[in-house]
A and B are shown apart, each in its own frame.
Chain A
Amino acid sequence: MNVDTTKIIHFDTIREKVKSLCMEANYFLGEDIKIYIEKAIEKESSPLGKEVLKDLQRNWELAAKEQIPICQDTGTAVIFLEIGQEVKIVGGYLYDAINEGVRKGYREGYLRKSMVKHPWLRVNTDDNTPAIIHTEIVPGNKLKITVAPKGGGSENMSALKMLTPAAGLEGVKRFVLESVKKAGPNACPPLVVGVGVGGNFEKAALLAKKALLRKLGHFNQDPAIAQVELELLKDINKTGIGPQGFGGNTTALAVNIEVFPCHIASLPVAVNINCHASRHKTIIL
């Protein structure tokens, strides 16, 4: 006998959850990032760098206490959806629910509206929509929603390069390091660096963005890749860029790498740079 495991989720539930996630992500810094910055305060050898890190700590404490944004750039609303194939959404179109949730979250949460309608005509949409939505269909009957507001300053320093196979792992590492050096002080170091290797042009970029969702301290499950994450972090922290680019040894808090099979002719690498305000909140319905 077949048991029907279909789960019904209402439009209104999704809208309300997205609204709360937008606010929470912007007011409350992730515990993993806090721990990493606290550790960095101990280890930072530049006095000015140490002061900067302490200011970031005072900042997240104040933001949480007063429920105001950690950073004024409350970002593009990037949404990751994992939809179980046995989920049925009723009451309206899923993407409308997401966008309405973003609209409400950004308005009612006093978050900054940073989206313009058109890339060169540049009139603000006034409600931070449209969200940028990535959808994956997965087995099961759950809906996982992650809201990951992404700042423009660090996004602008991100980069993608189509390497060829001869470049190998060394080429990948060189490109990541180059990208971080180029970002320098612009992306508000200390950084979280998301790296996507393989797939194709668009897959690499998406992998890099997804890598930013991984908790700091949770390394890639492949020990060889985890090793590369550690090596790259060490190298990045040898650049001397330091907190805010004022000099020091805390340039990045973590490097998260995701890989995917790719074409015999290609070796795509994407580096998605994030700042310490690496915001993401998830809910499973």
Chain B
Amino acid sequence: MNIYELSTPLTDEKIEHLRAGDKTILSGVIYTARDAAHQKIINLLNEGKNLPFNLQDQVIYYVGPSPAKPGRTIGSAGPTTSSRMDPYTPALLAEGLKGMIGKGARSEEVCQAIQKYKAVYFAAIGGAAALMSKCITKVEVIAYPELGPEAIYKLEVTNLPLIVINDIKGNDLYQQGRLPYQKI
């Protein structure tokens, strides 16, 4: 397991060497999107319209934060289950999306698209949401405020701890990580 510091936007050179099981500390601008926002992005792509943000080399964090208490930047903000975004993801990767942050396994199609378009899927620690809110230093709603926790937020993060799950070589930590401990 290696530890890397990364900053967004992500380019091929920045992610090529990442392997499943590596730890990464991510800083820079990232965007949030959940089910409803993905559906809207796909609709815009199908209609050939502009997206709320340019996907090229960007990172999407699958999160629906809790509301910020007065005086705080954001509420608790841990990952949601990524597989719900699987049906939409290959199309976003084809548009240049480079990184995704969530929790839980991805579909075969998504894993293949990650290799094809050279991208990376990271896990954040599900349930460590208070801790992660401390890494988020700036928040701005950039689209669909009516969706509440499902709106698209632009986040500035500092030292967000992540684990590489799927890399460009087709490795998958969820498949491989358990093998040394599996006794059944």
Task: List A residues at the B interface (Cβ < 8 Å).
Answer: 45-48, 52, 55-56, 58-60, 62-63, 66-74, 110-114, 122, 124, 126, 152-153, 156, 177, 184-186, 188, 235, 238-242, 244-249, 275-277
Is A59 a contact of B127 with CB atoms below 8 Å?
Answer: yes
Complex interface: chain A residues within 8 A of B81 (CB):
152-153, 156, 186
Does residue B128 face the partner (Cβ distance < 8 Å to A)?
A: yes
Known: A72-B78, A244-B103, A247-B181. A55 touches B129 (CB 8 A): no
Question: Which residues of A are found within 8 Å of B83, using beta-carbon distances?
Answer: 186
Q: Is B45 an interface residue (CB 8 A)?
A: no
The size of the chain B interface, using a CB distance under 8 A, is: 48
Other A-B contacts than A69-B66, A70-B127, A248-B181, 6 sampled, CB-CB below 8 A, are A110-B68, A185-B174, A240-B182, A245-B173, A247-B178, A275-B127
Nearest CB in chain A to that of B39: its residue: A122
**Complex CA distance for A239 and B180, rounded to whole angstroms:** 10
With A and B bound together, what is the CA distance between A47 and B104 in angstroms?
A: 20
Distance in Å from the Cβ of A241 to the closest Cβ of chain B?
5
Enumerate chain B residues within 8 angstroms of A56, measured Cβ to Cβ: 125, 127-128
Asked if B99 is an interface residue, CB under 8 A from chain A, the answer is no
Q: Which 10 A-B pairs have the closest CB atoms?
A: A247-B177, A240-B182, A188-B126, A240-B178, A186-B104, A240-B181, A238-B184, A63-B130, A112-B66, A238-B183
Q: Are A73 and B64 in contact (CB under 8 A)?
A: yes
Residues of A within 8 A of B59 (CB): none
A245 with B80: CB separation less than 8 A: no
Pairs A–B under 8 Å by Cβ, sample size 19: A48-B177, A55-B128, A58-B131, A59-B125, A69-B75, A72-B63, A72-B149, A112-B64, A112-B75, A186-B83, A186-B105, A238-B183, A239-B184, A244-B126, A245-B104, A245-B105, A247-B181, A248-B177, A248-B181
Residues of A within 8 A of B133 (CB): 68
- Nearest chain B CB to A34 CB, angstrom units: 13
Question: Interface residues of A: mostly helix, strand, loop or mixed?
Answer: loop
Question: Within 8 Å CB of A184, what residues of B?
Answer: 104-105, 174
Distance between Cα atoms of A112 and B151 in the complex (Å): 13
B76 at the interface (CB under 8 A from A): yes
Known contacts A110-B75, A126-B148, A238-B182; A188/B69 CB under 8 A: no
Please indicate the chain A residues that have their CB under 8 angstroms from the CB of B147 in the complex: 124
Answer whether A72 and B181 are a contact pair too, CB < 8 Å, given A62-B131, A185-B174. Answer: no
Known interface pairs A112-B64, A122-B36; A62-B125 also in contact (CB < 8 Å): no
Q: Closest Cβ of chain B: how far from A60's Cβ, in Å?
A: 8
**CA of A238 to CA of B178, assembled, Å:** 10
B67 touches A112 (CB 8 A): yes
Among B128, B148, B173, the one with the most A-chain Cβ atoms within 10 Å of its Cβ is: B128
Residues of B within 8 A of A240 (CB): 177-184
A68 / chain B contacts, CB cutoff of 8 Å: 66, 69, 72, 75-76, 130, 133
Contact of B75 among A72, A244, A247 (CB under 8 A): A72
- Could you tell me the distance between the alpha carbons of A110 and B77 in the complex, rounded to whole angstroms? 13
Q: Which residues of A lie under 8 Å from residue B178 when comparing CB positions?
A: 239-242, 245, 247-248
Min CB–CB distance B130 → chain A (angstroms): 4
